[in-house]
A = this chain, B = another copy of it.
């Protein structure tokens, strides 16, 4: 259980730093004989890559990836599958000014406290750039789950600051992608975009929430008592940079009584409920119904506006951060959320075969 690995049956080992030669991942336990859907991997990598729109950092990475092991004649062999994603547009000199500064809201101080050193170039290992390797591996899992089980995983931007989208039950990835902000509700998306651009113009940033909807998960996934679907989902999601909360059960339900939450049976003859009030999960195991959850992201800490920081002697100094940053990470986080969900579900699906 290396700490840069996650997953028991389908595991991802992550490596690389923001400004090293590359980031990447090793995916182990992927079922053999599966066709690798390179197009889908490219699709999700493109959705994650920087430089897509005015809402994301100007850093321009094509995020071309190489798949260098575990695949022979287009199919998985059962051996570990390795993805390499070069860092082509890393401008390390942007960061030399930060060598002796602990930026507010960043991991500069904690890496220093923990490791007695740090790679100060662009956050080093703490940069969200490392998620590129997670997305490659997870997108491969996502295709597999779609093809084998019909599982659909759709995330979208639900709110940006105080701007919220009305509830949606079944947006498509195309609808999500129709707007740069990745909110499928046109009017809200427009409003969000304007708000973000306005903040960007002032050198500021904003957070919000992403909603994720998972359909067609078979009943029986999730392992009591410490491998519950919801518990592992929380671990996977909270691993994503800037995620600060996860709600797997509709915050509003907290106000309801037990009788109000009682989930009335639906059609006779198979398991289903009228309102899916338990959100597709009971006792940490999937019911076969739709699973939805919401993640809260904080506003990016990298802002152009002047701030006060500690230097390496813990004296306050004023700081203006150059470099290229996202005013709002939500649009680029969408594919990370979806593919990390896929990696978890594949893990639990494979494990369910051993029950």
Contact = CB atoms under 8 A, between A and B. Distances in A.
Interface string A317-341: 0000000000000000000000000
A235 B349 CA distance: 19
A269 B314 contact: yes
A310 B287 CA distance: 14
Contacts of A161: 254-255, 257
A179 interface: no
Contacts of A261: 105, 298-299, 301
Nearest to A296: B254
Nearest to A235: B235
Nearest to A353: B353
Nearest to A261: B299
A17 B81 CA distance: 10
Interface string A1-35: 11111111101011111001111101011011100
Nearest to A110: B285
B231 A239 contact: yes
A286 to B, nearest CB: 7
Nearest to A249: B244
Given A119-B72, A244-B247, A256-B299, A82 B3 contact: no
Contacts of A207: 253-254, 256
A64 B177 CA distance: 43
Contacts of A239: 225-226, 228, 231, 284
A165 interface: no
B205 A257 contact: yes
A113 B288 contact: yes
A338 B173 CA distance: 41
B353 A226 contact: no
A66 interface: yes
B228 A80 contact: no
A114 B285 contact: yes
A282 B245 contact: no
A265 interface: yes
A334 B337 CA distance: 31
A309 interface: yes
B271 A32 contact: no
A160 to B, nearest CB: 9
Contacts of A9: 354
Contacts of A260: 299
Given A224-B3, A254-B298, A282 B238 contact: no
8 contacts: A2-B29, A31-B355, A33-B117, A102-B271, A110-B282, A208-B254, A238-B246, A354-B354
